[in-house]
Chain A
């Protein structure tokens, strides 16, 4: 092949590779615009004020009501519960792995955490129905264990691998000199961990929590199967709830094409999209701060 031809191939392929990079931007924009475009049709039929403040989600009845509040509260409740369980558990495990675990123990534990991450969400949801839900019903003496608490426990399990892995990276990234300085000043191992290492890793820990939170918020199958699916305002963790994701999953399959109800599902998807985007950006902000701090 002549040099000219080789250089031409090189030039052409460079453009093709670059195009794939540009398509990823187009994909993100395309997803957002598609959601937005379809929800505009919804807001032509339903006043935005009714959508955001309405306390009932009941699209099937004659006077169909499209209040997002019960879905938002459901989503928030399940996710909050999941984080209350997963954050301490995840960060303590990460601290153990990076500060105490013997390298040999680590080579066993890390693949186990990867295995936990690999279990499909539908299998976790299944266990919510057959194992965790009945357990909760027994412990609290209620008839049905398919409620927000069940969803929280399961989502915590799903968020754990993310939180552990990223927290461990953050703790490992704290320079050894910090620890040595603390120990040289007479602090013991525990004082060093709780007063030096973990605070220094804090931005990374927040980033880990944000990613875990994003994962829990966006999870569909687990909450769809295990939280009872009642689209009413929940009063507590033992009430059945229905998250935004579960609502889309249930109703999109049954709703007629291009009706108000159909567009309503895109409108709640936009809200979900924006919430997860904000959480991801926050996570990224804290991850960058950690990088700058150690640079």
Chain B
């Protein structure tokens, strides 16, 4: 009998933990979306901020985040995919590949604020790109590299060796095998990783603090050498630095809603691609 109670207690412990984790997610989403809903409107996402940020919308922050994510992606993806191809297709296990893999794992563990410092030293100062969306995008690109490499390598690993061998036996060179058979076959997996990287880049704040983000810019420009507004930084400023902090709270909730929605949409797309691809296999 005592044993039964003990086992019941164990059961509650495990199930309760799981339910608590779900509850946390529920509370986060409920709080932000229920209070953000009234702030989010078409005007909110299509207008400039007005009256010292107490009214109006967040259009420049949305545009800035999209531009930033775009720069991050076009820099990090080719680089990361190339590195994954080297590791999975060309390199034989050796001391060198062990060092490369260890570097990648450790790069993934470096705090994002340190990437911010590195971006400041390398892109802003040493390469004279200044505080700009380009510097910030490149900084986020470096931060994303280990992630892209890992997800791409996993996608490449799933391609059966028999496919490579068949192509090589037909007389294709190794690069032709990769270009025409391996990468196209692994594309859904690679794409999933790319979209998840974009979603992470869109939500990052620390690495862009010193590399180009601004609280307010006048007008929208697609030029990569200017400072920019970004959704996460906007949320940070509205919730901690604004002089009328209680007054702008609904706008902060609205910004948080838009940011989380953007990130979730990207995640759902990635999830859908992965799901569809797996069921096809």
Contacts and interface: CB of A to CB of B under 8 A. Distances in A.
Interface of A: 6-7, 9-10, 13-14, 16-18, 20-25, 27-28, 30-31, 34-35, 38, 88-89, 92-93, 95-97, 99-101, 109, 111-116, 118-127, 129-131, 157, 160, 164, 188, 190, 194, 211, 214, 217-221, 224-225, 245, 248-249, 252-253, 265-266, 269, 272-273, 276-277, 279-281, 284
B117 interface: yes
B17 A96 contact: yes
Contacts of B235: 122-123, 126
Given A24-B100, A34-B118, A126-B235, 10 more contacts: A31-B107, A38-B121, A95-B14, A120-B263, A123-B32, A130-B31, A131-B31, A218-B112, A273-B111, A277-B110
Given A119-B28, A122-B232, A130-B239, A14 B22 contact: no
A32 B231 CA distance: 30
B54 to A, nearest CB: 17
Q: Name the residue among B106, B209, B235 with the largest chain A CB count within 10 angstroms.
A: B106
A221 B21 contact: no
B91 A93 contact: no
B223 interface: no
Closest 10 CB pairs of A and B: A218-B111, A120-B203, A92-B17, A17-B86, A220-B206, A280-B109, A96-B14, A10-B173, A20-B83, A122-B232
A78 B182 CA distance: 46
B174 A14 contact: yes
B75 interface: no
A31 B173 CA distance: 37
Interface string B1-42: 000001100100111111011101101100110000000000
Contact of A218 (B79, B109, B205, B264): B109
B181 interface: no
Interface in B125-141: none
Contacts of B107: 24, 27-28, 31
B204 interface: yes
Contacts of B21: 89, 93, 112-113, 116, 160, 164
Contact of B103 (A24, A252, A273): A24
B152 to A, nearest CB: 11
Nearest to B111: A218
Nearest to B267: A118
B86 A130 contact: no
A96 to B, nearest CB: 4
Q: Name the residue among A93, A126, A281 with the largest chain B CB count within 10 angstroms.
A: A126
Given A18-B90, A160-B21, A253-B210, A284 B175 contact: no
A155 to B, nearest CB: 13
Contact of B267 (A17, A114, A273): A114
Range for the number of chain B residues in contact with chain A:
35 or more
Q: Name the residue among B89, B114, B173, B174 with the largest chain A CB count within 10 angstroms.
A: B114
A21 B86 contact: yes
Contacts of A7: 173
Contacts, number: 239
Interface of B: 6-7, 10, 13-18, 20-22, 24-25, 27-28, 31-32, 79, 82-83, 85-87, 89-91, 96-97, 99-100, 102-107, 109-118, 120-122, 142, 145-146, 149, 173-176, 199-200, 202-206, 209-210, 232-233, 235-236, 239-240, 249, 252, 256, 259-260, 263-264, 267, 271
A205 to B, nearest CB: 14
A89 B17 contact: yes
B5 to A, nearest CB: 12
Q: Name the residue among B97, B115, B239 with the largest chain A CB count within 10 angstroms.
A: B239
A245 B111 CA distance: 8
A241 B28 CA distance: 24
A224 B209 CA distance: 12
A123 B28 CA distance: 9
Contacts of A16: 82
Given A24-B83, A126-B235, A109 B109 contact: no
Nearest to A283: B109
A74 B275 CA distance: 43
B239 A129 contact: yes
A18 B86 contact: yes
A124 B79 contact: no
A116 B111 contact: no
Nearest to A29: B103
Contacts of A281: 106
A213 B175 CA distance: 41
A21 B83 contact: yes
Q: Name the residue among B109, B199, B210, B249 with the largest chain A CB count within 10 angstroms.
A: B109
A252 B118 contact: no
